[in-house]
Amino acid sequence: MSRPRPPAVAAALGLLLAACIGGSSPPQEGPTDVSAATAATAAPATAAPATDAEPNRAPTSTSRSTPSALSPSGPFDVDTVTLTGPDGQRIDVPVYVADQPELRQRGLMQVADLPDDAGMVFRFDGDTTSAFTMRNTLIPLSIAFAAADGEILRILDMRPCEAEPCPPYDPEVTYRTALEVPQGAFGRAGVTEGWTLEDS
């Protein structure tokens, strides 16, 4: 987990990654930046509008290990999504939820601290191809784009951008959900394209 852009979610994550090895954001209609970078819905999305966002944190776990606790922040509710690998490995990730246009557009903008095992999930009402941007995002993020059936189709690393022009991060795939975590968290946990993102 943002501001609109053309078409085209961090002490807990560390725990998740460690467990795994052992195991941005929010989009708006139109280009957006998710997590400070946001994703766009049917229209381009943005990471987060130029509004201040409170620091978000994202939890993560491996083989169903207990993820870090995440408390609601500002307008964002908290939930847990599960990443499942081909071998059945399951990683629970506590997340902030961006399921409305204004929340997807705000994403993780201005967030200075995000647990390494937590993140932000961007939920869309339908399929989208929107790109994310990192405008006003302070921390580097990795984002996974999942199809309607949960399959992770693309994972991208995104760099902070505090001044325009900020480049769009286009997954070049049609997706339904996006998950932002501290940059490198997916790699450290062994999560790759082809895994499944289970989101309630």
Q: Model-level pTM?
A: 0.70
pLDDT of res. 70: 80
Domain boundaries, the chain: 12-191
pLDDT tens figures, 131-176: 999 999 999 999 999 999 999 999 999 999 988 999 999 999 999 9
pLDDT of res. 41: 33
Q: Is the pLDDT of residue 31 over 60?
A: no
- For residue 59, CA distances in Å to 41, 67, 90, 162 come to 25, 5, 14, 25
pLDDT of res. 68: 65
Helices within 12-166 (DSSP H only)? 12-21, 101-106
Per-residue confidence at 67, pLDDT binned at 50, 70, 90? low
Q: Determine how β-strand 152-158 pairs with β-strand 119-128.
A: unpaired
pLDDT: which is higher, 63 or 93: 93
Radius of gyration of the chain from its Cα atoms, rounded to whole angstroms: 14
CATH class, 12-191 region: mainly beta
Reduced to 3 states (helix: H, G, I; strand: E, B; else coil), residue 161 is strand
Helices and strands, counts by H and E, the chain:
3, 9
As given in the structure block, the two tokens for residue 50 are 């130029």
Q: What residues have CB less than 8 Å from 88, skipping those under 6 apart?
A: none
pLDDT of res. 72: 80
Strand partners, 142: 157, 181
- Tell me the average pLDDT of the chain: 76
Q: Is the pLDDT of residue 35 over 90?
A: no
Q: Is the pLDDT of residue 177 over 90?
A: yes
Q: Is the pLDDT of residue 30 over 90?
A: no
